[in-house]
């Protein structure tokens, strides 16, 4: 029965993704640029409340839903203390950059984040960020496919490879043909299932064992589970600062796949619903994940892998239908993140790397190109996830960390700091990314007890400021166009 | 590489009060300061009350969890409501 619920959920995603009301379809006689804009920014028609849920779903991946309970199961309550900073994802993701990106995106009529960066910091920046986005996101999509397949595998009895192909086919179909519109509406469905799934499992677990009893049982089983720094000295204070406070901030602010969604809203959008829905959804989801990790630690102490904490808790404590809804929630979290990554990677190829060529095609051909490029990105990720490396979470953390170090200084500079320069942001961002990549490549992730993502962001941001002060500022007209308020500027003058 | 000429939507250059650059920057700075204070609180509480054999308990839970994890969740909700009602402008 749980399997049937998941199949229905997948079918609903396909239906919602492929169906588009007449009013949302692009009119005839469009240009190539309009086709591209419609595909990647949904014709700037996404409403505020859909935007809030889309950003929340994009930031919270299936990895979060699996890894948070898994962490609490294996390392104790330090997992909750660490992940608690993630409660700010929604606030940071929407309130820090959302309104500015919408304003700038509409002002310059751009279809991708790299295109906007290109206008502010030059075409070289557009090209570099496009290439980096494509390769890093490609690896990250593969980890999302793998996570989805593990969930389907739990209830279907199918082989892992079959699960990857089924999930990949569903996601590829609706995202390739539907673009950002499909992504937005499927995200609403996925957010509903995520909320239902997490709340159901938390309520049932609290009903079976109260919160205080859960903590007492964990304390009795292993006192390290309820004390700092957790089992195996997991989270000492320097790591808490660098891997908790800083990583969570860069995930919230420097996530290009989430921030790109803001280009899909029209100017003058009332952002309060987006902030309220995006923030409160995440504030609700995280405590439910904590409770499921604690409940699994008490009720299922002998699991073969901590990653099974959430799926096994769902299967063993809930009725089959409710277990299906809970697991569909995990699947929804994975699918929402994966589709946002696919679209952003596809935009990097067609709108940025191949911009000079793609914008000259006929509208029909450009539409075909958009679908084909999304297909290739998605199917390439399916192939990469058929035989996944053992350390998928590490790849995902590396991708998130390096993207955060690249894009946090760039986004903040582009939105708020007129004095930031092309050389400054490129030096700072690339240095930050190199620090993170080197840390992971040489397995030296905690120099002086501080995680490389923390080092990458701090050193990268400092370099951005210093080099920007030493190098030539951007043209006045670019500065005026980006940072001027309340007056119409005639750029032709 | 040469900077390509871009086109600007002239009408959208007229920023409304809430969408103005200065207002957005103020909101972003306040949000990030609040995040750092909030995160630092959790770390300080974990450092003060989370270590040792005999940790203290509050409301049946370790004090560092009650003060450092549970209360901050409610504090964030209250902060968000105040922020949206008083600081944030659309």
3-state SS track over chain A = CHHHHHHHHHHHHHHHHHCCCHHHCCCCCCCHHHHHHHHHHHHHCCCHHHHHHHHHHHHCCHHHHHHHHHHHHHHCCHHHHHHHHHHHHHHHHHHHCHHHHHHHHHHHCCCCHHHHHHHHHCHHHHHHHHHHHHHHHHHHHHHHHHHHHHHHHHHHCCCHHHHHHHHHHHHHHHHHHHHHHHHHHHHHHHHHHHHHHHHHHHHHHHHHCCHHHHHHHHHHHCHHHHCCCCHHHCCCHHHHHHHHHHHHHHHHHCCHHHHHHHHHCCCCCCCHHHHHHHHHHHHHHHHHHHHHHHHHHHHCCCCCCHHHHHHHHHHHHCCHHHHHHHHHHHHHHHHHHHHHHHHHHHHHHHHHHCHHHHCCCCHHHHHHHHHHHHHHHHHHHHHHHHCCCCCHHHHHHHHHHHHHHHHHHHHHHHHHCCCCCHHHHHHHHHHHHHHHHHHHHCCCCCHHHCCHHHHHHHHHHHHHHHHHHHCCCCCHHHHHHHHCCCCCCCCCC
A476 touches chain B (CB under 8 A): no
Tell me the domains of chain A and their CATH numbers: 32-389 (1.20.1730.10)
The model's pLDDT over A114-138, given as tens digits with 9 standing for 90+, comes to 999 999 999 899 999 988 888 878 7
**Cα separation, A368 vs A376, whole angstroms:** 12
Confidence of residue A261 (pLDDT cuts 50, 70, 90): confident
What percent of chain A is modeled with pLDDT above 70? Answer: 94
pLDDT at position A187 over 70: yes
Mean per-residue pLDDT over chain A, rounded: 85
Q: How far is B84 from chain A (nearest CA, A)?
A: 7
Average pLDDT over every residue of A275-293: 93
State which residues of chain B have pLDDT below 50.
Answer: 1-2
* Residue B29, pLDDT score: 93
- Which residues does residue B58 pair with via DSSP β-bridges, in sequence order? B61
The model's pLDDT over A153-177, given as tens digits with 9 standing for 90+, comes to 878 888 888 988 998 888 888 888 8
CB within 8 A of A312, min separation 6: which ones?
A: A154, A296, A300, A303
User: If DSSP codes are grouped into helix, strand and coil, which group holds residue B22?
Assistant: helix
A240 touches chain B (CB under 8 A): yes
The model's pLDDT over A33-82, given as tens digits with 9 standing for 90+, comes to 778 878 888 888 888 888 888 888 888 887 788 888 988 999 999 999 99
* Residue A493, pLDDT score: 41
Are residues A81 and B84, on separate chains, in Cβ contact within 8 Å? no
Average pLDDT over every residue of A373-383: 85
Average pLDDT over every residue of A427-445: 88
* Residue B14, pLDDT score: 54
**Cα separation, A245 vs A271, whole angstroms:** 26
pLDDT at position A485 over 80: no
**Apex A55 CA angle, A22 and B74, nearest 5:** 135
Average pLDDT over every residue of A351-374: 79
pLDDT at position A491 over 60: no
The model's pLDDT over A87-115, given as tens digits with 9 standing for 90+, comes to 998 888 888 888 888 888 888 888 889 99
Confidence of residue A199 (pLDDT cuts 50, 70, 90): very high
Confidence of residue A400 (pLDDT cuts 50, 70, 90): confident
Ranges A58-67, A335-344, A357-366: which has the least confidence = A357-366
ipTM of the complex, rounded to two decimals: 0.86
Contacts of B20 in chain A (CB under 8 A): 485-486
Domain extents in chain B? 19-87
Name the residue of chain A whose CA is nearest to B60's CA: A212
Inter-chain Cβ pairs, chain A and chain B, closer than 8 A: 178
Contacts of A280 in chain B (CB under 8 A): 77, 80
Are residues B15 and A489, on separate chains, in Cβ contact within 8 Å? no
Average pLDDT over every residue of A319-347: 89
* Residue A308, pLDDT score: 84
B74 touches chain A (CB under 8 A): no
Question: Which H or E run contains B57?
Answer: strand B57-58
Of the partner residues A245, A272, A489, the one whose CB lies closest to the CB of residue B43: A245
Residues 27-66 of A with CB under 8 A from B: none
Contacts of B40 in chain A (CB under 8 A): 245
* Residue A222, pLDDT score: 92
Question: How far is the CA of A43 from the CAs of A26, A173, A370, B73, in angstroms?
Answer: 8, 20, 15, 37
DSSP B83: I
Confidence of residue A476 (pLDDT cuts 50, 70, 90): confident
* Residue B72, pLDDT score: 96
* Residue A213, pLDDT score: 93
More confident residue, A1 or A390: A1
Confidence of residue A16 (pLDDT cuts 50, 70, 90): confident
* Residue A286, pLDDT score: 94
pLDDT at position A217 over 90: yes
Rg (C-alpha) for chain A, rounded Å, is 22
* Residue A489, pLDDT score: 43
Contacts of B38 in chain A (CB under 8 A): 88
């Amino acid at each position: 029965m749980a399997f049937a619920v998941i199949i229905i959920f997948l079918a609903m995603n396909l239906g919602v993704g492929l169906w588009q009301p007449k009013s949302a379809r692009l009119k005839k006689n469009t240009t190539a640029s309009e086709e591209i804009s419609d595909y990647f920014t949904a014709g700037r028609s996404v409403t505020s409340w859909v935007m809030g849920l889309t950003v929340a779903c994009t930031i919270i991946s299936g990895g979060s839903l699996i890894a948070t309970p898994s962490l609490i199961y294996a390392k104790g309550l330090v997992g909750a203390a660490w992940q608690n900073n993630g409660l700010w994802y929604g606030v940071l993701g929407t309130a820090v950059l959302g309104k500015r990106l919408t304003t700038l995106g509409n002002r310059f009529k751009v279809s991708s984040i790299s295109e906007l960066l290109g206008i502010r910091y030059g075409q070289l920046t557009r090209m570099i960020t496009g290439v980096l986005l494509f390769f890093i996101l490609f690896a990250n999509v593969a980890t999302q496919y793998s996570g989805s397949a593990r969930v389907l595998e739990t209830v279907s009895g199918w082989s892992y490879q079959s699960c990857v192909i089924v999930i990949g086919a569903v996601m590829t179909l609706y995202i390739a043909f539907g673009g950002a519109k499909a992504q937005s509406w499927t995200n609403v469905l996925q957010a509903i299932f995520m909320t239902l799934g997490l709340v159901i499992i938390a309520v049932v677990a609290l009903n079976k064992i109260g919160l205080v009893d859960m903590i007492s049982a964990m304390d009795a089983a292993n006192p390290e589970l309820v004390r700092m720094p957790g089992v195996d000295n997991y989270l000492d204070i320097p790591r808490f600062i660098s891997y908790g406070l800083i990583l969570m901030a860069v995930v919230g602010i420097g996530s290009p796949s989430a921030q790109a969604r803001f280009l899909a809203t029209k100017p003058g959008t009332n952002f309060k619903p987006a902030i309220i829905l995006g923030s409160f959804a995440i504030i609700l989801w995280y405590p439910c994940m904590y409770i499921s990790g604690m409940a699994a630690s008490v009720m299922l102490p002998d699991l073969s892998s901590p990653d099974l904490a959430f799926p096994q808790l769902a299967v063993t404590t809930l009725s089959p239908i409710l277990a299906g809804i809970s697991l569909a929630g995990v699947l929804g979290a994975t699918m929402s993140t994966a589709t946002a990554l696919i679209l952003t990677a596809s935009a990097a190829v067609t709108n940025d790397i191949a911009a000079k060529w793609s914008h000259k095609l006929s509208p029909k051909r450009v539409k075909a190109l958009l679908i084909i490029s999304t297909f290739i990105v998605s199917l390439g990720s399916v192939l990469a996830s058929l035989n996944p490396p053992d350390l998928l979470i590490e790849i995902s953390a590396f991708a998130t960390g390096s993207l955060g170090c690249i894009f946090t200084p760039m986004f903040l500079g582009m939105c708020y700091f007129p004095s930031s320069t092309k050389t400054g942001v490129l030096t700072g961002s690339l240095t930050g990314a190199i620090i993170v990549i080197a840390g992971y490549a040489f397995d030296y992730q905690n120099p002086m007890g501080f995680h490389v993502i923390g080092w990458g962001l701090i050193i990268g941001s400092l370099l951005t400021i210093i080099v920007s002060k030493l190098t030539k500022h951007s043209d006045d007209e670019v500065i005026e166009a980006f940072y001027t308020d309340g007056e119409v500027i005639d750029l032709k003058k | 590489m040469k900077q390509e000429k871009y086109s600007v939507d002239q009408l959208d250059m007229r920023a409304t009060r809430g969408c103005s650059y200065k207002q957005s920057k103020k909101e972003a700075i306040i949000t990030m300061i609040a995040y750092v204070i909030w995160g630092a609180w959790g770390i300080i509480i974990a450092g003060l009350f989370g270590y040792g054999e005999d940790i203290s308990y509050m409301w049946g839970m370790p004090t560092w969890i009650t003060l450092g994890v549970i209360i901050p969740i409610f504090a964030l909700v209250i902060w968000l409501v105040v922020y949206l009602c008083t600081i944030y402008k659309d």
